[in-house]
């Protein structure tokens, strides 16, 4: 019997998955019996400067296309159960997780996300990385010495590049985990998404870690989070 698969886009976005051991996903593989697909989408490191610079201004498009392409390619390989596919990611990986379940609602049967970017327009003045919102969301340069709020046109473009632009299409049961001390991706991002899903009548669950920040890596919090992720996927896959 082919195993169900969990698709895992990394955060960053300008980072990379290599071959190192990652305990959380080894846990899902070893104790859950899940196949794990790491995706290095366009914008990832290790593929040249042009690949990195192709993503700014195209976040939510090129990276989503690559995640979906990799998912479908492996699903068609005969090595996994193509009817039981989930997606899991944090930070920019959470941005992609929530994008994917909105843009491709038929592809993923379950989702788990932690500290996800869901609405760039409402994040830009609340985050410690406003440059991410302008550079990745709009493809603009950013000058740290000249702070200003976004213009009306920029807000509109940020919203259009965000997962919330597709939330009305979501049908996937979704777990949302938040570090309430996160200054990088404010917890309001995940709360906005969670309450929207709940108001739509979708299966969703919120995990709140009051003393954790962006990583959710305090020992008890990390353990609780990944046990809940496994239970979520066990239930829906």
Q: Which of 132, 141, 184 is nearest to 161 (CA)?
A: 132
**Rounded Cα distance, 38 and 84, in Å:** 16
**Rounded Cα distance, 168 and 196, in Å:** 9
What are the CA-CA distances from residue 226 to residues 27, 113, 121 (Å)?
8, 11, 30
Neighbouring C-alpha atoms within 13 Å toward the C-beta of 123: 35
Bridge partners, 176 (sequence order): 113, 206
Q: Assess whether 143 carries a catalytic annotation.
A: no
Catalytic residue among 182, 212, 221, 225: 182
Q: Assess whether 213 carries a catalytic annotation.
A: no
- Asked if 36 and 6 count as a contact pair (C-beta separation under 8 A), the reply is yes
Catalytic residue among 44, 91, 162, 221: 91
Residue spans of alpha helices (H) in the chain: 23-32, 49-53, 62-75, 92-103, 120-123, 130-138, 152-160, 187-199, 219-236
Q: Assess whether 214 carries a catalytic annotation.
A: yes
Catalytic residues: 91, 182, 214
């Amino acid at each position: 019997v082919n195993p169900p698969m969990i698709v895992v886009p990394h955060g960053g976005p300008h980072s990379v998955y290599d071959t190192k051991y990652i305990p959380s996903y080894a846990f899902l593989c070893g104790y859950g019996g899940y196949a794990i697909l790491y995706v290095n989408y366009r914008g990832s490191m290790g593929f040249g400067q042009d690949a990195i610079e192709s993503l700014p201004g195209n976040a939510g498009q090129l990276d989503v296309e690559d995640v979906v392409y990799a998912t479908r390619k492996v699903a068609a390989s005969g090595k996994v159960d193509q009817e039981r596919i989930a997606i899991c990611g944090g930070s920019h990986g959470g941005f992609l997780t929530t994008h994917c379940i909105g843009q491709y609602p038929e592809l993923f049967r379950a989702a788990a996300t932690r500290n996800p970017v869901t609405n760039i327009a409402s994040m830009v003045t609340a985050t410690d990385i406003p440059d991410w919102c302008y550079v990745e969301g709009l493809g603009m340069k950013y000058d740290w010495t000249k702070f200003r709020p976004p213009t009306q046109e920029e807000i509109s473009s940020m919203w259009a590049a965000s997962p919330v632009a597709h939330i009305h299409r979501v049908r996937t049961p979704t777990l949302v985990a938040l570090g309430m001390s996160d200054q990088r991706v404010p917890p309001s991002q995940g709360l906005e998404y969670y309450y929207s899903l709940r108001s739509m009548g979708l299966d969703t669950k919120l995990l709140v870690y009051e003393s954790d920040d962006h990583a959710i890596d305090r020992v008890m919090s990390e353990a609780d989070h990944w046990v809940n992720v496994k239970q979520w996927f066990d239930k829906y896959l």
